[in-house]
Amino acid sequence: MTGAPAGAEVRFDGRPVGAEFRVPLSGDEHSVEIVVPGRPSVVRTIRPTADLVLDVAAAFAADNPGPPSP
């Protein structure tokens, strides 16, 4: 997984895991949740394939667009 802010907690099917975790290949759907204190959680449903990389940077950028342009 890429793009999670520093200090984020990653949960796979409700269990805490690190940003890099292994998922057995199967046809089953799984839930990945990224929790950052003070921000809305980002939840994605995935169906694992070989070498899957989940990028959540855009979800967090949309939630915190930064200061307005002059």
Q: What is the pLDDT of residues 8-25, one digit of tens each?
A: 899 999 999 987 787 878
Q: What residue spans define the domains of the chain?
A: 9-63
- What are the tokens at 54? 């989940």
Q: What is the pLDDT of residues 34-46, one digit of tens each?
A: 898 888 888 988 8
Sign of CA dihedral 42, 20, 13, 7: negative
The CA distance from 44 to 32, in Å, is 5
Amino acid identity for residue 49 in this structure: T
**DSSP string of the chain, one letter each residue:** -B-PPTT-EEEETTEEE-SS------S--EEEEEE-TTS--EEEEE---TT---B-HHHHHHH---SPP-
Q: What is the pLDDT of residue 69?
A: 41
Q: What is the pLDDT of residue 65?
A: 47
